[in-house]
Chain A
Amino acid sequence: MLTVAAVGDLHVGADSAGRLAPHLRGLSGQVDALLLAGDLTQCGTVEEAEVLVRELADVSVPVVAVLGNHDLHSRQGAKIRDVLAVGGITLLDRGATVVPVNGHVLGVAGVTGFGGGFAGACASDFGEPEMRAFVARTHAEAEALEDSLRGLATDVRIALLHYAPVADTLQGERPEIFPFLGSYVLGAAVDRAGADLVVHGHAHGGTERGLTPGGVRVHNVALPVLRRPYRVFHFEVDGAAV
C-alpha cells in the first residue's frame, strides 16, 4: 500500500507563518509523500518560498511540488527552486522523480501545465505570434508530461500539475475562463502515457473529482476546493486508487 497526500494553492505569504504547519503535523505518520500542486506562494517571491519551507520543516515524508502561475509572477522561479531544494522539497519542472516506499516505488511526473481550453472552446496554433506562443507553451508542457510519465517504470505513477487537464474538475468555475484554467492537451498526454492518478490545482471554484476521456482519475486538490489541509490517496500495489 502506498499513501500520498496532496494539496494545491497554498498561496503562502508572510501572513502564513505559523498558520500552515499545525495542519500538517499529522502527515508524517499517515502518508508516504506529500504533493503540492502549484501556487505555493502568493506573489512568487523568494521570501514567501522561505516561509513555506519553514512551515514544512516538520514534515518528514518526501515533498514533491510543481510551480503555479503565482509562483512565476515575480520571475524568481529559479531562486524559488533553490530555496525549496535547501528545504528538501523536490520541485518538478517538466521532469519526474521516484520515491521508494517500503519496497515499492512511487513515481511522480510534474509540470505546471498551461491554458488553452477544452473541446468546443480551444485556442489553436493559428494566427498572431502571441497566440501561437500561448498554444506552444501548453503543447511543450504536455509533451514533457507525456515523456516523463513514459519514463516512470514504477508501481504507481502520478501526474502532478497546476493547470487542469480536464473540464470535469472545473465545474463551478465560469465557463468563460476555462481556457485560462487548463487544456485538453494535458489530459490527452496523460491518456497516451498512462497514469494512476492526476492531481492539479488552480481552479479555486472547481470540483474535486473528474476523469480523463481515457479513464484516468483526476482530482482538483486546490485548497478552496478541498476545504481541508490535504487529500489522502491510497494505492494498492497494482496501482488501483481507492
Chain B
Amino acid sequence: MSMTNSGESAAYQAARAEERLATDDHIHELGVHVRVDGGRAVVTGSVTSAARKQAVLDAVRDELELEIVDQVEVIGYGGAEADEGAS
C-alpha cells in the first residue's frame, strides 16, 4: 500500500478527492478521476467548460494539498476545446 507523508494511503486520498468532486455543490463532477502517485494528484477526465475544469483542479488541490497533474480535457458543446489556461 502506498502511503503519503500524512500517513493516509494514496488510495484513501484519491477516494476522498473524488468524493469531494462528486458532492461539492459547486462542482458535482462524477466523470473526473483522481490518482495519487508519487506525492502528486493526477486528475483525469472531461468537463464541459474551462471554468469547470478550474473548479475541479482547485478543489483537488484544496482537498489534498498536493501538486496537481492536470489531465482534464474540456469538451464543450462543439467538441474538444483548447485549454484556456486552467491550471
In the complex, chain B residues 37-87 whose Cβ is within 8 Å of any chain A Cβ: 45-46, 48-49, 51-52, 73, 75-80
User: Across the interface, do B75 and A19 meet the contact criterion of CB distance under 8 Å?
Assistant: no
Known: A11-B48, A15-B51, A204-B45. A42 touches B28 (CB 8 A): yes
User: Across the interface, do B46 and A224 meet the contact criterion of CB distance under 8 Å?
Assistant: yes
Q: What chain A residues lie within 8 Å of B46 (beta carbons)? A: 204, 224
CA distance A11 to B31 in the complex (A): 11
In the complex, chain B residues 1-42 whose Cβ is within 8 Å of any chain A Cβ: 25, 28, 30-31, 33
Residues of A whose CB lies within 8 Å of any CB of B are 10-11, 13, 15-16, 19-20, 22-23, 42-43, 69-70, 73, 174, 204-205, 223-224, 227-229
Number of A-B contacts (CB under 8 A): 45
User: Across the interface, do A223 and B77 meet the contact criterion of CB distance under 8 Å?
Assistant: yes
- Select which of B51, B75, B78 is within 8 A of A224 by beta carbon: B75
> Across the two chains, which residue of chain B brings its CB closest to A20?
B77
CA distance A23 to B77 in the complex (A): 7
Q: What chain A residues lie within 8 Å of B30 (beta carbons)? A: 69-70
| Dominant secondary structure of chain A at its interface with chain B | loop
CA distance A22 to B80 in the complex (A): 15
Q: What chain A residues lie within 8 Å of B77 (beta carbons)? A: 10, 16, 19-20, 23, 223, 229
CA distance A159 to B48 in the complex (A): 26
Point out which of A20, A23, A227 has the most chain B C-beta atoms below 10 A from its C-beta: A227
Q: What chain B residues lie within 8 Å of A224 (beta carbons)? A: 31, 46, 73, 75
12 contacts between A and B (CB under 8 A): A10-B77, A15-B49, A15-B52, A16-B48, A23-B77, A43-B25, A70-B30, A224-B46, A227-B79, A228-B79, A229-B78, A229-B79
CA distance A16 to B31 in the complex (A): 18
Q: What chain B residues lie within 8 Å of A23 (beta carbons)? A: 77-78
CA distance A228 to B76 in the complex (A): 8
- Closest CB in chain A relative to B79 CB, distance in Å: 5
